[in-house]
Amino acid sequence: MNRRYRKTIIAGNWKMNNTLTQTKAFAEEIKPIMPRGKWCNVVLCVPATNIQAAVRLFKDCHIAIGAETCHYEEKGAYTGEITAAMIKDAGAKYVIIGHSERRQYYNETDFTVNKKVHAAIEAGLIPIVCVGESLEQRELGVTMELIAYQVKCALAGVAPEKVRHIVIAYEPLWAIGTGKTATAEQAGEVCQAIRTVIRKQYGAHVARSVTIQYGGSMNAKNAAELLAQPDVDGGLIGGASLKPEDFVQIIHAANQE
């Protein structure tokens, strides 16, 4: 983390979990244990049906709300989809774009990720753009090239002053939901490489302002070590964000001096 230049952001990704009733119960449980007045920003990305209620439920404990994906068109015949403007209108501030599960199950490509990043920015949302390599790609030794390609595609055509506010989440596919975490060195190395890509494209000022998260089985035990890496500015957290106590432990780790 480097709080001097950029925000530390701890974001939960609830995926397809939690009904409205469960969301209310989560809010009641987390409110009394939420740390206050510290440095890190906290976000929960929730199923679309919960956004509006979550904005209201988590307002007084300063948790911002995000969506888990959006469509790139402004409107039209895309049954089942929602636009970035709809998400913004529901009160959300963030949207996850290009999560590996979307890339794997819903044909999300680097091309559609780029279109969604543009749509999110246009609507006034902060995109959390996910990039990451598979185990095979890591073993082939192409991680850095692949990540650079994904980052460049995602940000293509985005103005530098907008790139400054984007969040990038480095999520190695082999670490998501597997209980297998990247070592702090692996996470730090790739997050640093992402910042270098941004520096080369957009300059040092933009690069040092961008929040780069690590995601992949981050939990209460390993968070502090991962967040101690200078280029790891937070976490995107799946499983552990479903348990208020575990999520709060990660927030505490991000608030350490």
| Residues designated catalytic | 99, 171
- Closer to ligand PEP by CB, 23 or 217: give it: 217
Q: What is the nearest approach in angstroms of ligand PEP to the Cβ of residue 52?
A: 23
Find the Cα–Cα–Cα–Cα dihedral 17, 101, 237, 190, rounded to 10°: 180
Helix (H, G, I), strand (E, B) or coil at 13: strand
Binding flag, residue 215, ligand PEP (CB under 6 A): yes
> What are φ and ψ of residue 158, in 5° steps?
-90, 135
Using CB under 6 A as the criterion, what x/- string covers residues 143-172 for binding ligand PEP? Answer: ----------------------------x-
- Closer to ligand PEP by CB, 54 or 169: give it: 169
Q: Mark the segment that binds ligand PEP (CB under 6 A) among 18-26, 31-39, 111-119, 230-238.
A: 230-238
Q: Indicate the residue whose CB is closest to ligand PEP.
A: 238
Q: What is the nearest approach in angstroms of ligand PEP to the Cβ of residue 125?
A: 18
With left for phi above 0 and alpha for psi between -120 and 50, is residue 92 left, alpha or beta? beta
**How many residues are recorded in the chain?**
257
Candidates 8, 143, 217, 229; binder of ligand PEP (CB under 6 A) is 217
State the Rg of the chain over Cα.
17
Helix (H, G, I), strand (E, B) or coil at 197: helix
Q: Which distant-in-sequence residues (6+ apart) come within 8 Å of 220 by Cβ?
A: 240, 245, 246, 249, 250, 253
Which amino acid would we find at residue 214?
Y
Binding flag, residue 216, ligand PEP (CB under 6 A): yes
Q: Mark the segment that binds ligand PEP (CB under 6 A) among 87-95, 216-224, 226-234, 248-256.
A: 216-224
Q: What is the nearest approach in angstroms of ligand PEP to the Cβ of residue 217?
A: 4
Binding flag, residue 230, ligand PEP (CB under 6 A): no
> What are φ and ψ of residue 218, in 5° steps?
-70, 140
Within 3-22, the residues that bind ligand PEP by CB under 6 A are: 13
Binding flag, residue 218, ligand PEP (CB under 6 A): yes
Binding flag, residue 237, ligand PEP (CB under 6 A): yes
* Strand-pair category, 94-97 with 63-67: parallel
User: For 32-72, where are the E strands, in sequence order?
Assistant: 41-45, 63-67
Binding flag, residue 113, ligand PEP (CB under 6 A): no
Q: At what angle do helices 110-123 and 143-155 cross, to 10 degrees?
A: 40
- Closer to ligand PEP by CB, 10 or 51: give it: 10
Rounded to whole angstroms, the Cα distance separating 228 from 233 reads: 9
- Closer to ligand PEP by CB, 67 or 176: give it: 176
* Strand-pair category, 211-215 with 167-170: parallel
Q: What is the nearest approach in angstroms of ligand PEP to the Cβ of residue 53?
A: 22
- Kindly list the residues in this chain that would bind ligand PEP in the complex (CB under 6 A): 13, 171, 176-177, 215-218, 236-240
